[in-house]
Structure 1
Amino acid sequence: MSEKNKKIAYWFFTLWLSLGMVSTAIVQLMKHPEEVEKINQLGYPTYFLILLGVWKLLGVIAVLIPKFILLKEWAYAGFFFAMSGAVISHLVSGHSIGEIFPSLLLLSLTVSSWYLRPANRKF
């Protein structure tokens, strides 16, 4: 893959990841009834929605701003742990693939964005 194509792919995956994280963060911060029901079904307290929402917004800022490479690594790690934890929580709870897919998609976008990041965004 050429450097130009790699850069285009990086921004494609990173912008989709950012959009997904921001949109889910907003729903979580608003404590949408469906989100409250889902988080409770998974066995987590409702206040966990606020933590996830704030962390996701801060993570998106960290991934998108220039420089602060170590902070970006932490943001990617946080996204990875949050989304892999969500996938595992849904699996353990016996949820269908339809309920697991959004978390799996965000996990895939996280890994793709991290893997394709340009040299000036690597630690």
Structure 2
Amino acid sequence: MKTNKISIFYWVSTIVFALMMLADGLAGLAHEATGVAVMKHLGYPEYILTILGIAKILGALAIIQTKFDTLKEWAFAGFTINFIGACFSRLAIGDPAGELIAPLVALLILSVPYYAWKRYKAAKSYTPQLAVR
């Protein structure tokens, strides 16, 4: 894949994912009714929505920024932990298998901008060797 195509793929997938997490984070901060119901169903206190909402907003900002790679890596790790935790929370309370699909799909969606970022970094740092005659 050419560097320009990798760059476009990276930025589109990252911005789409960041917007999804920003919207989810804002819904958490607003204590949207569905989120409150899910947290109560899972046995978590309602204030966890505020904590997760702030974390998702900060994580979305972290994956968009281009200066601090370690911060971006930790943001991706945090989202991964969040989605795995959501899956196991549903599993732990005995929700049906269909309820496990959403966090697993979110984890799959997360892997796209992460993979794209790694490809983008590799493409940016690649310098072709000149042939020596």
**RMSD over equivalenced CA pairs, Å:** 2.0
Distance in 2, Cα, partners of 1:76 & 1:6: 19
TM-score scaled by length of structure 1: 0.84
Match of 2:8 in 1: 8
Match of 1:50 in 2: 50
Structure 2 stretches lacking a partner, 5+ long: 125-133
Q: Cα distance 1:61–1:7, how it changes in 2: closer, same or farther (>3 A)? A: same
The Cα shift of 1:4 comes to 2.5
Q: Once the two structures are superposed, what CA deviation does each residue of 1:36-82 show, in whole Å capped at 9, x if it has no partner? A: 11011112111111111000000111111121111111111001100
Map 1:1-123 onto structure 2 (within 5 A).
Answer: 1-93=1-93, 94-95=95-96, 97=98, 99-117=99-117, 118-119=120-121
The Cα shift of 1:111 comes to 1.4
The Cα shift of 1:110 comes to 1.6
Misfit runs of 4+, over 3 Å: 99-102
Structure 1 stretches lacking a partner, 5+ long: none
Q: Cα distance 1:13–1:105, how it changes in 2: closer, same or farther (>3 A)? A: farther
Q: Cα distance 1:46–1:115, how it changes in 2: closer, same or farther (>3 A)? A: same
Give the fraction of aligned pairs with identical amino acids, expressed as a percent. 32
Q: 3-state SS of the aligned residue for 1:66?
A: coil
The Cα shift of 1:2 comes to 2.9
Size of the aligned set, in residue pairs, is: 120
Distance in 2, Cα, partners of 1:69 & 1:29: 27
Distance in 1, Cα, partners of 2:19 & 2:104: 15
Q: Once the two structures are superposed, what CA deviation does each residue of 1:10-60 show, in whole Å capped at 9, x if it has no partner? A: 122211211110111111111112211101111211111111100000011
Q: Once the two structures are superposed, what CA deviation does each residue of 1:98-120 show, in whole Å capped at 9, x if it has no partner? A: x4444333312221111110218
Judge conservation of contact 1:10–1:116 (CA < 8 Å) in 2: yes
User: For the pair shown, which has the larger CA radius of gyration, 1 or 2?
Assistant: 2
